[in-house]
Amino acid sequence: MSAEQSAVVATRADGRRITPTGEPFEIEFLITDPSSERVLGRFVQNLERLGVTVLQRKVDEAQYQRRAKSFDYDIISARFTMQLTPGLELKNFFGSEAADAEGSYNKAGIKDPVADALITQVATAKSRAALQTAGRALDRVLRAGHYWVPNWYKAAHTIAFWDKFGWPETQPLYDTGILDTWWYDTAKAAKLKAD
């Protein structure tokens, strides 16, 4: 930790973190529904154990959207869905130009010339190997920046449906394929009617 970083937060005798001006070090989670409190529960507990004062501000959806678009938050939960082959869309998620553009997906406000250069390398790669090399380097740079905290992960999709559809034996990667690869199977549908 640099001297500049260590000056940002100090610890009182009671273990609470404070800013250089003596104010409590506070982080506000901006949320829209009570289920977010459950999802964030352990994260909040761990921050409080570290002496950080944590607030969970529940707002209505309209206020959340307005505040998220204008970057008026400390922490929000976000889900990023990317293409299997990344390209120029990475600029909107991680590029310096998008950091101050209202409504962009650069939720962390990342302004890193190294990330910008790597995004360009990803987008202009002439081979899959070059794309993978640039993509992995970009991943390392973004992870080293500590811009986000992975919060949850589920390796499967939970879907309820009538068993009247067919689908290919080999499923698409990271996708349910419902609209793209499923089809109405008359034999399965007839069996459902018979049952």
The tens digit of pLDDT for each residue in 42-88 reads: 899 999 999 999 999 999 999 999 999 999 999 998 888 788 889 99
Mapping DSSP to helix (H, G, I), strand (E, B) and coil, where does residue 30 land? strand
The tens digit of pLDDT for each residue in 3-18 reads: 444 456 788 878 899 9
pLDDT at 7: 55
Residue type, 111: K
Which residue intervals of 85-173 are DSSP H helices? 90-94, 113-123, 128-144
The tens digit of pLDDT for each residue in 101-113 reads: 999 999 999 999 9
Report the C-alpha gap between 195 and 193 in whole angstroms.
6
Report the C-alpha gap between 85 and 123 in whole angstroms.
9
For the chain, the structural domain boundaries read 1-77, 81-153, 165-194
Residue type, 162: W
Is 80 exceeded by the pLDDT of residue 2?
A: no
